[in-house]
Amino acid sequence: MFIRHFNPHKLIYRVGQVAKVALVALVAKVALVEKVALIAKVALLASVLVLTGRAYGQQIQFEGYVRTESIYDTRQVLQVREGQFHLFPLEKSKENSNSNLLLAAFRSRVAVSSITSEGVPGVLAARIEGDFFGATNDNVNMLRLRHAYIVWTYQSHQVLFGQTWSPLFTSSVIPGTVGFATGAPFQPFARFPQLRYTKSIRKVSIEAAVSTQLDAYQEIGGRKMHHQSGLPAGHIHVSAKGQSGLLVGVGGTVKSIRPELGGDSFRARAATAYAKVELGKTTLKVKSMIGEDLADHLMPGGFIRNSQGMLEPTRLASAWMDVSHPTTLGTLGVFAGYLINLGVPSSGNQAAAIANTRAANLKDLWRIAPRLVYTRKPLTVSMELEATSAQYGQGFDTHFVPVVVEVHSRVLNVRWLLAAYYNF
């Protein structure tokens, strides 16, 4: 009777169902084990950091934020990372008149800092910070190093050794823009490996540093041009604090560039002046600068080989202003900047080689960018409308300054930016 009603297909089906249930249970168990193992590893790492910190009397802090943003440009711009970091609109052409849209989260950031006063006179601190901006356009969303430095502070002396903002960036006076460019190219923007010494005398601070180029912050032909000069860039800044949050400062830098091994080298210099003041609830920041070959700070220009075969750095001048004021709707602010191409000192350069310059025919730029920033911790929502206008020349005068021939050679890009941060 059993044999008569035996159905092998049903048996195979039931065995298959049992095997499926067993496999699902096994996979769930493995996944649970992996999750437990991952949690255990994270807990172990945190415990090691905490115990190590306690062993050396360190205070360790984890911080960062998740940032998502939407960016729309009315035309094509000189940019990196799919348009997230931009400088100015490209020249007039049918292709460059097309708009561009980006949704991204690779500006999200993580950082670990530590501070201790044990084992050394004074205070010893360190910080390492990264984001997912990528070191090149080909590895967007990959972790890259932003800052990694050690700071030793003793009485009125401070020594910093590692990678952080270029002294020319003047981190105490920077625009409050929503855009990642932070005012570039009107504001010099770069992070360098460096050795920096700061001396404080009452309300005056004197800073001296040496640095070398790295990553995107390099000559148009590559950072090796700086390295093979055999000399670091030198920086010096003097700043002073006053009442009402007043801060004023001046600074300068000089670097040596050798484009080819065994070839000629040249020096490039830059100077800056800056100030910040609090007028009630309103904060005002201003900065101006003039300099040569500032391509390593993501500004226009570089250097040329003139018609006599000599190397010359191109010059520019820029100035910007940033105002912010808190209101019940959030913090209102506006950034305004202007930049002009000053060419080179010598004359007779119509036939100059321009391979090592950024936008050699860019004559001038202006930008205005109002913003609104609303914060309700830990969330920040920001909006910014940025208008940037660039004028391009169709030739050069004897000092390699772009000459505008076409009446309507100015181009305008309007950037709409909406960003949200979750800070931790």
Q: List, for residues 163-209, the tens digit of each pLDDT value.
A: 999 999 999 999 999 999 999 999 999 999 999 999 999 999 999 99
Task: Based on the fold, state whether residues 46 and 181 are members of the same structural domain.
Answer: no
pLDDT above 60: residue 390: yes
Task: Based on the fold, state whether residues 339 and 412 are members of the same structural domain.
Answer: yes
Q: How confident is the model at residue 10 (pLDDT cuts 50, 70, 90)?
A: low
The per-residue pLDDT of the chain, averaged, comes to 88
CATH label of the domain that carries residue 255? 2.40.160.10
Task: Based on the fold, state whether residues 295 and 346 are members of the same structural domain.
Answer: yes
Summarize pLDDT for 337-361 with one digit per residue, the tens.
999 999 998 887 766 778 899 999 9
Task: Based on the fold, state whether residues 312 and 173 are members of the same structural domain.
Answer: yes
Task: Based on the fold, state whether residues 49 and 180 are members of the same structural domain.
Answer: no
| Residue 58, burial from CB neighbour count under 10 angstroms (0-12, 13-18, 19+) | buried
Domain count, the chain: 2
Q: What is the pLDDT of residue 53?
A: 53
Q: Provide the residue range defining the domain that includes 234.
A: 56-423
Task: Based on the fold, state whether residues 295 and 329 are members of the same structural domain.
Answer: yes
Task: Based on the fold, state whether residues 44 and 67 are members of the same structural domain.
Answer: no
Q: What is the pTM of this model?
A: 0.86
Task: Based on the fold, state whether residues 29 and 173 are members of the same structural domain.
Answer: no
Strand runs (DSSP E) across 2-105, as ranges?
59-73, 77-80, 85-89, 100-104
Q: Which of 162, 168, 134 is nearest to 299 (CA)?
A: 168
Q: Greater confidence, 374 or 33? A: 374
Task: Based on the fold, state whether residues 403 and 369 are members of the same structural domain.
Answer: yes
Residues 6+ apart with CB under 8 A from 225: 218, 219, 257, 258, 259
| Residue 337, burial from CB neighbour count under 10 angstroms (0-12, 13-18, 19+) | buried
Q: How confident is the model at residue 83 (pLDDT cuts 50, 70, 90)?
A: confident
Q: Are 282 and 167 in contact (CB under 8 A)?
A: no
Looking up tokens 């005398």 gives 201
Task: Based on the fold, state whether residues 42 and 120 are members of the same structural domain.
Answer: no
Summarize pLDDT for 15-39 with one digit per residue, the tens.
455 544 544 454 444 444 444 444 4
Count CA within 13 A, CB hemisphere, residue 52. Answer: 9
Q: How far is C-alpha 140 from the chain's CA centre?
A: 14
pLDDT above 70: residue 229: yes
Average pLDDT for residues 290-313, to the nearest whole number?
A: 93
Task: Based on the fold, state whether residues 230 and 318 are members of the same structural domain.
Answer: yes
